[in-house]
Structure 1
């Protein structure tokens, strides 16, 4: 309502007129109809007849106009039209919201192995437009040249912080060559135990490794990688590598301690002990022909599936093996055994390229029984929980199991004895390498219970020396005792049906009587004696949780455990890294630069460390 009505009143007798409150004169409102009424005549009356009152109206009117303007502006901001206009206004490229979305898209590309070209795909762009119309999606080149290096730098800075003040770090390494491009990579993964007794892992490198893979070239690359991460060689506990000569030579030239991968060694032992046997290799060759027949014929596969359904079996594909992975051959032969009935029915009606005889079927069954403990051990040591402490007890348990006779030895007796010889030969370092002894004795699940008398005393002496060295921070003047203890003779038995787990329990039962260690008078010696005098914890419990709980009781031993239990027993981390690399460097991205591939791998593997702490 206009402020003028504070000074006028509508006439009761004639609504076309207004009565002045000051002089009681009636003034026309501007017309005969309501639509034509206005306040112009009223304002002129005040201006001409009552100047003082007119000034009061002006002040009141100014205040009224100001309030109305504010109300109108507020209504405009909250109106649906204005909201629609705001939603169509694009974010500035440097705005916090736009940067946040761009970072999330880059993380998605790295974590999910997506190509940079996904940001140009029609479906993805429509999705982003639907989710946030105000966001402008950058080009693929922006993500590859700007976003990826920026994210890589953030992750690398975090890894540097994690590695600060870590005194003992274990590493794995391997070399990978792509099948779809002329690209080779050298990996370096780190593993250590932090102050909270938690195992930490990080990928440091998967860098291009061009040229000849000589020991000198590998050693030079390692020097460069350690320098880039400011890792002193004194802080390198051990490097897990494959058994190739160039790798062994490289680690020696680099001046760091290294060990062979237990999984690779197990592969060589099984191949030499079992798969190289003529009768067994013939069975494997037949198995590959049968599997190949179904893998290359859709019709044969359909017929086999129908037979499986008629026999009430769950339809299942036969597994193809990889010649460089003995356990894949084990899985192939096991899948053939599982489909023995279905294959028999199929062979009666359709032609197969080869068939097993009754004797060979029995040989295959006994062979899989013989190799079952090795398959179980391979899975255990490939776990992220496996450490160097598992090597010696596993070898002792395997040797004891192989030394026993069983009903399933028919046809594989020679292979079994040859396999035992291969284990003794291939795992000789498990009974001469101090690092294995110290890791085993510092694992509360094993302690010294898997050593014979001579080995036990040598292991305790080595542990005492190492604890004393670490306590007095004197790493350079003393070296661990490298005396090779005599290997314990394993008694044989005619008991059958034993498993690998039974061997662990059997060995522990034989070592229930605790030995008294003479000459333990120092403070650290008391810790060693107290620790070894207690029974081992169950194998399914965590050694790191034990040391965290017993830090106050055995502080010197806990410090040593952080060093020796950080070492893995295989180079599986590097192999898994390159499995991820094969998803990045594939047929669709076979021209990607090695530098970009390494940054993507680095972010993919290490970004979860930031996500856990967020």
Structure 2
């Protein structure tokens, strides 16, 4: 329609300066009527246009029609108004669903219960759904959380059943102390009947007594009892190397193992603290990092220098004592910002910059530590198994034995790390659970094992196969496929990749003697190893269960355990967020339930 109320017919006519009207189609003059302006109209114009091609006239008429609003002009009835404004009853299914969603939001987003009583939240809810009768903080804290917690517990108990999880479950456990609470965590790890690796947070339990070995052991057993898990189903317990934790597991006779990530942390710290020159350089760098992380002015000045020099405008990273790889990240960032830091020290002082030799040592130290971080990340991955421990240790040994940088202090640092690696991992390397997990992983098999260990392997596997029934609970596909784990990123082969290729070369036929090993084991060893990066050991066993019925049952047990207790540590990071200032008065029992729901609701896809 023509703008400003002007008739659509004027699209085809032009008004001249003397008031005449000319047709744009045929150039004929058309009268608007005689007399004053108020008597002039468009009737003659429409009549003239009608004599022109039919499609022009009809199109113009259609465009001249007033637009009908798309929304209904009908007034809502009283019933409709009441339906949109009347509050739902407390037992209305819609009310209960909203209660459930809000409680799940509080748990999974780590929000304080008091959020439901905030003025802003109430305004949002009143606008989004005015019919919902919003409950108080007390309702969610004392009633709704318990309802959801009970539902999730019951669902997880079904997941932990022998029918789904099999005969063996592995665990990780750790202890944590805050300003108001001391807690002990328990996470469960198993491979379900569909060959999916499952990780569950079972318990975050308050510790009310001194953390003696006996108390730790008793608490562990009580947590198993709460979840109705027989002690015989415990495959392996991953824990830290604390004396009380070690003693606790020994006292209750649980098969246990130290966290490999924690041991590697100690190994690297042994090396870093072995040389005075390295200690001094790291101390200088930490002082520089502290200066920039505690001064906004220093950060602003550094940013200007970075811009002037064309250096990446990254902040300076501060190393923390509890995570060795933060030292590596600090080193890498300092080396990247070397020019900017040197210029800052020259202009503003405040700290002593590194000498040319010290910068060289720092660079070589970062080069040494880089591959070690790759191993740490391998130990910490959610889908990692204890099967990766021996290959990783073999690679680290090759790395530290190789000829590295000749810079002062670095060679000795590497030697100390190698000695510490061999000493601290001695028990882990000989553990039956670690060795068999490696053998039963189709990516590794006997590759990293020496012949004398393979002799034990044959004995252990034969004994285990004689006592373990075939795993009939697992589901197998009808056709065999070549299982692959998709790569998450394009990776250029690293130094570690080449070292893995070396340590995972297939063993000779002499290393695996057939005498005394049943045919199933022989056939498995003759199978080619699958790709370390793209191959998925769980999918491989899923597709080969029918070919190796007894070995697959053992693989389901031994591949279930992670190489580290990192998941238990992550639980405490969550607890720290739950116990922040706005919830500092939260009772320990409620914190345990919130942490439990935080991890397990997404895992269950909010279905329980």
Give the corresponding residue for 2:317. Answer: 319
| Larger gyration radius, structure 1 or structure 2 | 1
Alpha-carbon separation, structure 1, partners of 2:335 and 2:470: 59
Aligned residue pairs, count: 510
User: Which runs of structure 2 are paired with 1:2-401 in the superposition (5 Å)?
Assistant: 79-165=76-162, 166=165, 167-178=167-178, 181-401=179-399
CA positional deviation for 1:613 = 5.5
- Consecutive unaligned residues of structure 2, counting only runs of 5 or more, are 1-73, 472-492
2:443 to 445, 470, 477: 445
Which residue is equivalent to 2:594?
A: 600
Shift in Å, 1:456 = 2.1
Q: Give, in whole Å, the separation in 1 of the partners of 2:284 and 2:590.
A: 44
2:547 paired residue number: 553
Q: Distance in 1 between matches of 2:324 and 2:273?
A: 8
2-side partners of 1:516 and 1:92: how far apart? Answer: 72
Q: 1:208, 1:297 → 2: CA distance?
A: 39
Structure 1 position 408, deviation (Å) = 5.4
CA distance in 2, matches of 1:369, 1:460: 40
Corresponding residue number in structure 2 for 1:427: 425
**Distance across 2 between alignment mates of 1:271 and 1:137:** 54
Aligned-residue offset at 1:313: 2.3
Q: Which residue of 2 aligns with 1:60?
A: none
**TM-score, length basis structure 1:** 0.80
Post-superposition offset of 1:460:
2.6
**Could you report, residue by residue, the CA deviation over 1:270-304 in whole angstroms, capped at 9, with x for unpaired residues?**
11122342111111110111011111111111010
Range with greater deviation from structure 2 (108-117 or 504-513): 504-513
| 1:406 Cα deviation after fit | 2.8
2:391–2:503 Cα contact (<8 Å) kept:
no
CA offsets 1:173-207 (integer angstroms, 9 cap, x no match): 111112xx321111001010011110111111101
Tell me the equivalent position of 1:502: 498
**For 1:427 and 1:583, how far apart are their aligned partners in 2?**
34
CA distance in 2 between counterparts of 1:242 and 1:441 reads: 25
Counterpart of 1:467 (choices 465, 468, 471) is 465
Distance of 1:611 and 1:439 partners within structure 2? 30
Q: Note the alpha carbon deviations across 1:89-119, whole angstroms, 9 max, x for none.
A: 1100011110000110000000000000000
Q: Is the 8 A contact 2:274 2:416 kept in 1?
A: no
2:485 — aligned with what? none
Q: Distance in 2 between matches of 1:408 and 1:146?
A: 66
CA distance in 2, matches of 1:137, 1:613: 23
Separation in 1 of the partners of 2:401 and 2:157? 49
Structure 1 residues 513 and 349, CA, compared in 2 at 3 Å: closer, same or farther? farther
Pick the aligned partner of 2:527 from 530, 534, 539: 534
Q: Matched residues in 2 for 1:421 and 1:449: separation? A: 23
Contact 1:520 1:529 in 2 (8 A): no
1:444 counterpart SS class: coil
Question: Relative to structure 1, is the Cα distance of residues 612 and 121 closer, same or farther in structure 2, using a 3 angstrom cutoff?
Answer: closer
Change (3 A) 1:362 1:143: same
